[in-house]
């Protein structure tokens, strides 16, 4: 093996024996979801075509920073950020401007309402 990926040869045994040692579950699908969240991808070999089930129970995963003997690269494997943190500063500025405009409009309306109220009282 080249050391650029890892294999799970028996998913059932892996889920039953290995996962509970490191996770609060023994669910292979949850483990794969976690791998994907950190940028790991399932390796699909051309001969499998991605459609034909492989003969043996062998699932292979790789990540560009997961390489045998290159432990210093591991710190680059990070959980993908959610879309909330991808809001641009200029978007926040636009929203703040909108809020400021709304607040000043409300203040203006309040003033007009108070003026109308006092005129109404005077007319009574």
Q: How confident is the model at residue 67 (pLDDT cuts 50, 70, 90)?
A: very high
Q: What percent of the chain has pLDDT over 90?
A: 57
What CATH number is given for 5-76 in this structure? Answer: 1.10.10.10
99 pLDDT above the threshold of 60 = yes
Residue-range domain boundaries for the chain:
5-76, 87-123
Q: From the CA atom positions of the chain, what is the Rg in Å? A: 29
Q: What residue spans of the chain are helical by DSSP H?
A: 11-13, 19-22, 28-37, 89-123
Model pLDDT for residues 40-66, shown as the tens digit of each residue: 999 887 665 555 555 567 889 999 999
Tell me how far CA of residue 68 lies from CA of 40, 44, 46, 62, in angstroms: 15, 20, 24, 11
The pTM of this model reads 0.57
Average pLDDT for residues 78-98, to the nearest whole number?
A: 72
30: left (phi over 0), alpha (psi -120 to 50) or beta: alpha
Model pLDDT for residues 108-120, shown as the tens digit of each residue: 999 999 999 999 9
List beta partners, residue 3: none
């Amino acid at each position: 093996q080249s050391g650029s990926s890892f294999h799970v040869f028996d998913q059932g045994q892996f889920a039953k024996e290995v996962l509970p040692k490191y996770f609060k579950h023994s669910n292979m699908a949850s483990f794969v979801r976690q791998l994907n969240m950190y940028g790991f991808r399932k390796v699909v070999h051309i001969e499998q075509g991605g459609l034909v089930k492989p003969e043996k129970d062998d699932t292979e995963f790789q990540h560009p920073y997961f390489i045998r003997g290159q432990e210093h690269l591991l710190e680059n494997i990070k959980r993908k950020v959610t879309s909330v943190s991808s809001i641009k500063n200029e978007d926040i500025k636009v929203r703040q401007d909108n809020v400021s405009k709304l607040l000043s409009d409300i203040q203006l309306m309040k003033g007009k309402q108070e003026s109308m109220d006092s005129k109404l009282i005077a007319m009574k």
